[in-house]
Amino acid sequence: MAASEKAINFIQGSLNSGRAIPGQSLTNSPDQQYKWEQPTEYTNPREAMLYVFETLTVPETTTNVLLSLSKGVGVVDIASITLYAGFLEGKWNPDLMLLLMEPTMYMVMALAEKANIDYNLEAGDDEAPMEMSPESQVETIESGINELDKMRKIAAQRVSPQSVPEEIREVIEETELSPSLLEKVEEKTNTSLLAKEE
C-alpha cells in the first residue's frame, strides 16, 4: 500500500509542529499509560465527594474559586473544571465525574454564600435580557413565520408520492372526512333557533 503525498506531508507537518500523529496514543507502551487509562483512585461517590470537598477547602483553592465567582465565572464552569482535572489525574472515571457534578456545584455555591458573594450558575446569567420595541418584535415574528413558510414549502416539494405505499394512498383517497363537531353543533343550534322563531 503506497502512502499518498498528501498523507506524507500531513505526518511530516505534525512531526515538525510537535503534534501527536493520529493513533499515536494507541502505540504507547502499556507501561507508560496515561492516568485516565489506569484504574481510578475513587470508585465510591461518597469518598470522591469528600476528596472534592477537601480540594475545594484548601485555602489557596478557596480564594481562587471565590475570586472567580466574584468576577462572573459560573458555578457550573468551576465544578466542571474541578471534576475534569480530577478525571485527567485518574481520580475517577467519566461516569463518577457526572455523578459528582451536582454535589460539587452545591459545595461551590455554599462557599460563595459563606463569603457573601453573589454567584451565577452559568456565565452570563447576570446579563439583562435584550429589550425590543413592539414594532421590532412584530417584524422579528413575521420574518420567522415567513422563513418557516419557506421551509414548509421546500419540505412539501421534497415529499415523493412513492414514499407512501399505493395501498395506503388508496385508503387515504377513499376516506371520507366527516364535518367538524363544531359544525354539527352550530347546525343544530341554528335549526332549533329557526323552529322557535316560526
d(CA 39, CA 23): 22
d(CA 45, CA 53): 12
pLDDT digits (tens, 9 = 90+) for 141-182: 888 888 888 888 777 776 666 666 777 777 777 777 666 666
* 59-70 vs 75-88: helix crossing angle, rounded to 10: 140
pLDDT digits (tens, 9 = 90+) for 4-32: 777 777 777 777 776 766 777 677 777 77
d(CA 94, CA 132): 43
C-beta neighbour count of 47 within 10 angstroms: 12
Question: Which pLDDT value is given to residue 109?
Answer: 92
Rounded to the nearest 5 degrees, what angle is found at the Cα of 137, between the Cα atoms of 135 and 140? 110
In angstroms, the Cα distances linking 3 to 8, 10, 17, 29 are: 7, 11, 21, 25
Mean per-residue pLDDT over the chain, rounded: 79
